[in-house]
Structure 1
Amino acid sequence: MNLSNLRAPAKANRNKKRVGRGMGSGHGKTSARGHKGQGSRTGSSMMRGFEGGQMPLHRRMPKRGFTNIFRTEYTVLNLSRIAEMGETELTLERLKALGFLKSRDELLKILGNGELTTAVTIHAHKFSKSAQEKIEAAGGQAVLLG
């Protein structure tokens, strides 16, 4: 491949459909809306999932449960993963660099699944009770972030 045989992708250079510009255009008279009916009328816009008057699927399905829009979500990290890293101090910046956090603004909770053998200082927003006990038993420190 070189500059002489580069081509635009298919349909990349198509013209915009101009409706209502005469019979010769192929989109004249009814302006590609067809004859009569709800969709041909001006101002017509049907909601997503409209089924021609039939009860829509999202209203036919049963609703259960409750979604708390104010819930606080934490990214969780187990002690077993921390032990594999072999670090002595873990900050949010370090965890982001290692790929455990997507952004520095994420909230982090450390869970106590696994064992620690070395002393590690961990900075996180929350610790489970078992995680805190295991970190301190190994001679490390659990630093709570505001």
Structure 2
Amino acid sequence: MIWTPRVTVAAIVENDGRFLLVEELAEGRLVLNQPAGHLEHGESLIDACRRETLEETGWQVEPESVVGLYRRIEPTSDITTLRVCFSARPVEHYPDLLLDTGIERAVWLSRQELADSAQRHRTELVMRCLDDYLAGARHPLSLLAHA
């Protein structure tokens, strides 16, 4: 049997000390997450970050650095996910764009507001990625070499 992890991307987008997040339905509950999603066949990681953020928030962003790579094993299914988290700057907002199915809305929250709502985080990676970003984790996009 060949083991195949799922690859996802996520974006930390900051504007005036607030961070772009999505409220989405997951397993029957409304949760908070960074704009994030699965890498599609033939797509670069950077393009996936741009696409997922636009589809989920209506914001066009430009990835600037890699915050980190995060491995997570889903406790209920034993599925392994590798998350590539980027920092990205907001470029343009398209408020009339229809958001992805399951996305209720995009919100801008401070770190404290996000911490205060920990019970609503989709996974523990929501806070971990943000805290790594705030601690200065920034790796050049060239780390991904043709990604």
Same fold (TM over 0.5): no
TM-score (norm 1): 0.24
Larger radius of gyration: 1
TM-score by length of 2: 0.24
